[in-house]
Amino acid sequence: MARGYKISKVVKEVGSGLNDERPKLDSLLKDRSTRIIVIEHKNKLSRFGFNYIQTLLSMEGRKIEIVNESGEDKEDLMQDFVSIVTSFCARLYGLCGNRSRTEKLIRELQNEDK
């Protein structure tokens, strides 16, 4: 027991706090029998939108407890920045690829009509 809590499950998942496709976290959030979620650092759960998650859980009588509430240091902020830029670049690259595939398909269809 820690802080008087009975630990019923330990969930470990390698993933960025920016990634919104984390199956273990998703499962944990959906499991209404989990009343208290204890996390080491707030930014490990979610870099952005933490308060929304906390609010939604509190509406169900559930809560998140943060063990280490230290402020973000410069290194964490820089890592966030790099992660955001990388994510946007990947999405932009993917969109460009989709656009070129769409344009190619349109050209092929136009050539078939001739």
CB environment 63-95: b (16+ within 10 A), e (fewer): ebebeeeeeeeeeeeebbeeeeeeeeeeeeeee
**What's the pLDDT tens digit per position in 31-73?**
999 999 998 888 778 877 889 999 999 999 999 999 887 666 6
Is residue 35 within 8 Å of 6, Cβ to Cβ? no
* % of the chain beyond a pLDDT of 70: 82
pTM tops 0.85, yes or no: no
Pairwise CA distance, residues 83 & 81, whole Å: 5
Question: Predicted confidence band at 108 (pLDDT cuts at 50, 70, 90)?
Answer: confident
Phi, psi of 22 (to 5 degrees): -125, 100
When pLDDT is averaged across residues 12-16 and rounded to a whole number, the result is: 78
**Cα angle for residues 82, 13, 84 (degrees, 5° grid):** 15
